[in-house]
Amino acid sequence: MQRIAKKLSTESADDLLQKFKIKVTGNIMWAGGITVLLLTVAQLLIGNTAQGSVMLVAGVFFIGMAWRYHGRRIPIIIRLSFIGLLSAITAMSIVLNSYIGVYWTYPLLVACFFLFSGRQGIGAAAVLTLLFSTVVFVSLPLNDSWRVCASLAIILVLGAVFAVLLEQLQQLLRKLVVTDTLTGVQNRHLVTQVLEEASYRFARYRRPSSIIMADLDHFKKLNDAHGHLFGDQILKQVAERMRSVLRQNDQLFRVGGEEFLIVLAEAQLSDALRVADKLKNTISQTPFRGKTTQVEVTLSLGVAEVVKDQSWVEWLNRADTALLEAKRKGRNQVRKASSVSRDASLQL
Ligand SMILES: Nc1nc2c(ncn2[C@@H]2O[C@H](COP(=O)(O)OP(=O)(O)OP(=O)(O)O)[C@@H](O)[C@H]2O)c(=O)[nH]1
């Protein structure tokens, strides 16, 4: 692997969120199992054998599933069984033990919002609210029943608000994780995923894609001469100009300090070379203006089309090698990569 592929994260924002969810659902399953087993002992000691037996089976099942799916996504059917079994135990407890059983309805409602995402969680909690309300009305005096139902409804509403806000927060987080704060273009987070998908599209359907690696020339000198803040302003403007040249479905990433990657879906090498030329010209033809000064900036670019039987790493390395060649040959130019990854020889 060469320098650029080494820097890329192979973990996407969705992977990170997924890991977090796996941790939360796993912990709930463990906690549920341990709590139920502890309560089983209490039930058996007071001679409540029927409920104790059901709880024993449920507790062992939860622990078993938490163990089996440790560090992995727990299938929805297991999560539904978890809620289903605990609801049955809770309903049984309300019927047998009256008010004491009611206390278990609250944590169960809350667990729904953690075990299922968004609308699924709200739906599951709504079903439980209906179920528990019915059991409560049948088992408790009317005077108290409506109070319990009102408190369950309040938890349902609060939980629903929480679930909606959490979903919005997740979307915002996902956007923040993949966005470069300085330029507003995508950072390198999703590069691996996008390149893998493009490689797959080519391998499976022969649909071409090309990439352009672009690097500002002598940016260190610009920083040294005008200061880092001025350099930041230039980077912002460079990204804006690049975006203005690209089409809606082209993807622009800032993958290093002054290094950009453009992924052109459905573009053959000839199309990508045209785009690279436009990018070069949009940067070099008009000077960049600061408050008191203006500077000329140039861009070197390497272009590579995806080819058969090559991984995304090799594809990226070919573009990177072409970029280095553009730098070596004097900068402010576009070079296309050879189709062979290890062969650094390039053709113009
Ligand atoms: N202002 C600013 N500068 C950055 C940022 N990230 C990296 N740089 C600077 O970019 C410069 C990159 O320097 P080099 O890697 O030597 O590359 P170069 O000077 O552009 O030279 P060539 O690439 O060979 O043309 C360094 O001075 C970094 O400090 C950033 O976010 N803001």
Specify the ligand 1 atom closest to the Cα of 217.
25
Q: Please say whether the beta carbons of 12 and 186 come within 8 A.
A: no
Confidence band (pLDDT; 50, 70, 90) for 11? low
Write the CB contacts of 161 (distance below 8 Å, at least 6 apart in sequence): none
The response to whether residue 220 sits with its C-beta less than 6 Å from ligand 1 reads yes
Each residue of 26-40: pLDDT tens digit?
999 999 999 999 999
Cα of 255 from ligand 1 centre, angstroms: 12
Residue 291 confidence class, pLDDT cut points 50, 70, 90: confident
What is the identity of the amino acid at 284? S
Quick check: CB of 226 below 6 Å from ligand 1?
Answer: no
CATH architecture of 188-336: 2-Layer Sandwich (3.30)
Q: Average pLDDT for residues 308-334, to the nearest whole number?
A: 95
- The tens digit of pLDDT for each residue in 70-79 reads 999 999 999 9
pLDDT at residue 243, rounded to an integer: 97
pLDDT given at position 118: 85
Active site residue 258: yes
pTM over 0.90: no
Residue 75's pLDDT is 95
219 CB under 6 A from ligand 1? yes
**Quick one: pLDDT at residue 208?**
94
* Residues 311-323 pLDDT 10s: 999 999 999 999 9
- pLDDT level of residue 292 (50, 70, 90 thresholds): confident
Q: Where are the domains of the chain?
A: 3-178, 188-336
- Kindly give, in sequence order, each residue whose CB lies less than 8 Å from that of residue 104, ignoring residues fewer than 6 positions away: 86, 89, 90, 93
Tokens of 261: 């990657």
- Separation CA 139–CA 34 (nearest Å): 28
| Catalytic residue selected from 258, 259, 305, 314 | 258
CB-neighbour burial class of residue 339 (10 A; exposed 0-12, middle 13-18, buried 19+): middle
Of all protein residues, the one whose alpha carbon is nearest to atom 32 of ligand 1 is: 232
What value does the mean pLDDT of the chain take?
91
